């Protein structure tokens, strides 16, 4: 979501005549986009902010824009007070505060409303920053902003605001513009992406949107994330199975394996229901890969309760598990009402055990790809090797002199590990 937001700001700035600079030290304008989902992310933002302050002391004209969840949709007076050298504060996804500021500062003739109209993201020039046009193979499109599902640990609804689906025409226009700029793969984004269109009877649902997007010429692959177990309909699963452009990969977080912990998290489902959901996904989408998110050390989580998570991961053998240690976020229900009583070392222990387990599972799943031929969409060259992804979202590297950017090619897997695979082009 933040990557998509940052690209949007970059495009807007280019529209005003600014260019990307490789180093903050040399930039006239620095935009710092922030995440606060865990304390570690927030701390990183503070660290970067103070190093920007050092630069600004030498170059007082430098404009610093603090953007994203550290600011939030309602603004953040504490942060504004603590970082007086920040010139502009912007909520998530919104380039306009900075645009307005720069228009005024630079004494431009342009009316802010005129700019806002142009930045309705229907303008083909604006979708990707210049340096990425023709370079970026895989792009994100946010389709649901904000979130209205009150998971007790989560700060996102407070900072990104209530759930709002983007108009389908806007999404389609953006997809067509991205395709025209060379993008081959689009990932649709939302905190609960499968709730797309729920509050708008005149909008299609996610299945309908995927159908429409399937017709965009030039776009070869579609993905979406993140799903919530309670909103994954059979219709959506069947759409994924049916539409050739929609990749067989589902990101559906469980967060914890124990029913009481799930209840305290206010997730709205049980261990058993999640297991049934995984069965249902696998039955309806042949060859599907599934990713989950897990939080260890939620308030009150006992060893036995944690074991439920461990067993669930061991049983289900999912492709990916994004692991996190519980981090209390100011103002959330869990922070206010539930003591953060699992010691840090214990959170780390649980985290490492799950990491080890999942590494074994992923290694095993990947070993099953050995010698197989799979279709890979190649994105970029990384240290001399071409990096791409299988339909199931597995990372594949190919060593070759040929320019593979943006191409979908069948390759033969020659080596596998828990994190990635190596492959060769056919008949080489
Ligand atoms: N809306 C998506 C993604 C939320 S943020 C969803 O609900 O799945 C990505 C992940 O960060 C979450 O899935 C969760 O595992 C983790 N996370 C969120 N709040 C957290 C917290 N307070 N402490 C630790 N991890 C957290």
Domain spans of the chain, in order of start: 2-118, 134-247, 255-264+277-365, 373-424
How sure is the predictor about 121, in pLDDT bands with cuts at 50, 70 and 90? Answer: low
Query: What is the number of residues in the chain?
Result: 428
CA of 324 to the centre of ligand 1 (A): 8
The whole-angstrom distance between residue 394's C-alpha and the CA centroid of its chain comes to: 16
CA of 378 to the centre of ligand 1 (A): 29
- Which residues touch 326 (CB under 8 Å, ≥6 apart)? 153, 295, 296, 297, 298, 299, 301, 340, 342, 347
Is the pLDDT at 117 greater than 90, yes or no? Answer: no
So what's the pLDDT on residue 113? 65
Q: For domain 134-247, which CATH number applies: 3.30.750.210, 3.40.50.620, 3.40.50.300, 3.90.1330.10?
A: 3.30.750.210
- Distance between CA atoms of residues 51 and 58, nearest Å: 12
User: To test ligand 1's pocket by mutation, which of 274, 324, 350, 354 has the most ligand atoms within 8 angstroms of CB?
Assistant: 324
Q: How many CB atoms lie within 10 A of CB 98?
A: 23
CA of 333 to the centre of ligand 1 (A): 14
Q: Identify the CATH class of 373-424.
A: mainly beta
Domain 255-264+277-365: CATH architecture, name and number where available = 2-Layer Sandwich (3.30)
> β-pairing, 164-165 with 144-145?
antiparallel
DSSP state of 342: S
> β-pairing, 408-416 with 373-382?
antiparallel
- Distance between CA atoms of residues 321 and 232, nearest Å: 19
Asked if residue 64 lies in contact with residue 50, where contact means CB atoms within 8 angstroms, the answer is no
- Distance between CA atoms of residues 64 and 327, nearest Å: 28
- Fold match between domain 2-118 and domain 255-264+277-365: no
pLDDT digit string (tens) for 287-337? 999 999 999 999 999 999 999 999 999 999 999 999 999 999 999 999 999
- Mean pLDDT, rounded, for 368-389: 97
CA of 99 to the centre of ligand 1 (A): 31
Is the pLDDT at 116 greater than 80, yes or no? Answer: no
Task: Enumerate residues lining ligand 1, CB below 6 A.
Answer: 37-38, 147, 153-154, 156, 191, 226, 253, 255, 293, 295, 324, 326-327, 329
| φ and ψ at residue 293, rounded to 5 degrees | -115, 145
Adjacent-strand bridge partners of 64: 30
Adjacent-strand bridge partners of 336: none
CATH topology of domain 2-118: Rossmann fold (3.40.50)
Alpha-carbon distances of 122 from 132, 151, 176, 260, rounded to whole Å: 18, 33, 9, 46
Is the pLDDT at 107 greater than 70, yes or no? Answer: yes
Is the pLDDT at 426 greater than 70, yes or no? Answer: yes
Asked if residue 369 lies in contact with residue 101, where contact means CB atoms within 8 angstroms, the answer is no
So what's the pLDDT on residue 126? 77
Tell which atom from ligand 1 comes closest to the C-alpha of 253.
8
**CA-proximal residue: ligand 1, atom 3 (nearest):** 191
Tell which atom from ligand 1 comes closest to the C-alpha of 255.
15
**CA-proximal residue: ligand 1, atom 11 (nearest):** 37
- Which residues touch 37 (CB under 8 Å, ≥6 apart)? 69, 154, 155, 156, 329
* Largest Cα span, the chain: 65
pTM, entire model: 0.96
User: To test ligand 1's pocket by mutation, which of 35, 152, 154 has the most ligand atoms within 8 angstroms of CB?
Assistant: 154
CA of 258 to the centre of ligand 1 (A): 17
């Amino acid at each position: 979501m933040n990557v998509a937001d940052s690209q949007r700001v970059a495009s807007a700035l280019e529209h005003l005549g600014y260019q990307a600079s490789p180093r903050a030290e040399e930039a006239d304008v620095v935009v710092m986009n922030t995440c606060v989902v865990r304390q570690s992310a927030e701390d990183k933002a503070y660290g970067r902010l103070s190093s920007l302050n050092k630069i600004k002391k030498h170059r007082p004209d430098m404009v610093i824009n603090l953007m994203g969840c550290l600011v939030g949709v309602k603004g953040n007076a504490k942060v504004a007070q603590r970082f007086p050298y920040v010139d502009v504060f912007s909520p998530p996804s919104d380039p306009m505060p900075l645009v307005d500021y720069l228009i005024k500062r630079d004494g431009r003739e342009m009316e802010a409303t005129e700019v806002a109209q142009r930045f309705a993201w229907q303008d083909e020039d604006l979708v990707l920053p210049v340096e990425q046009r023709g370079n970026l193979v895989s792009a994100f499109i946010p389709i649901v902003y904000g979130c209205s599902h009150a998971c007790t640990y989560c700060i996102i609804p407070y900072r990104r605001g209530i759930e709002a689906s983007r108009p389908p025409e806007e999404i389609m226009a953006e997809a067509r513009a991205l395709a025209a700029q060379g993008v081959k793969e689009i990932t649709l984004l939302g905190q609960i992406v499968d709730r797309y269109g729920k509050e708008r009877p005149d909008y299609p649902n996610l299945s309908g949107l995927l159908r429409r997007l399937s017709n965009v010429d030039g776009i070869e692959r579609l993905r979406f994330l993140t799903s919530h177990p309670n909103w994954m309909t059979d219709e959506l699963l069947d759409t994924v199975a049916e539409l050739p452009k929609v990749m067989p990969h589902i990101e559906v977080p469980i967060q914890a394996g124990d029913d009481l912990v799930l209840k305290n998290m206010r997730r709205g489902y049980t261990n058993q229901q999640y297991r049934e959901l995984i069965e249902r996904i696998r039955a309806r989408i042949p060859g599907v890969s599934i990713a989950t998110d897990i939080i260890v050390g939620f308030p009150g989580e006992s060893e036995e309760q944690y074991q439920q998570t461990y067993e669930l991961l061991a049983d289900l053998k999912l492709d990916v598990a994004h692991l996190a240690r519980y981090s209390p976020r100011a103002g959330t229900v869990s922070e206010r009402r539930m003591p953060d009583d699992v010691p840090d070392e214990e959170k780390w222990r649980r985290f490492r055990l799950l990491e080890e387990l999942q590494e074994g599972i992923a290694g095993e799943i990947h070993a099953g790809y050995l010698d197989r031929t799979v279709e890979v969409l190649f994105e970029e060259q990384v240290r001399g090797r071409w990096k791409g992804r299988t339909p199931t979202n597995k990372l594949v590297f190919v060593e070759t002199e040929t320019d593979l950017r943006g191409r979908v090619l069948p390759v033969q897997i020659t080596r596998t590990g828990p994190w990635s695979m190596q492959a060769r082009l056919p008949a080489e």
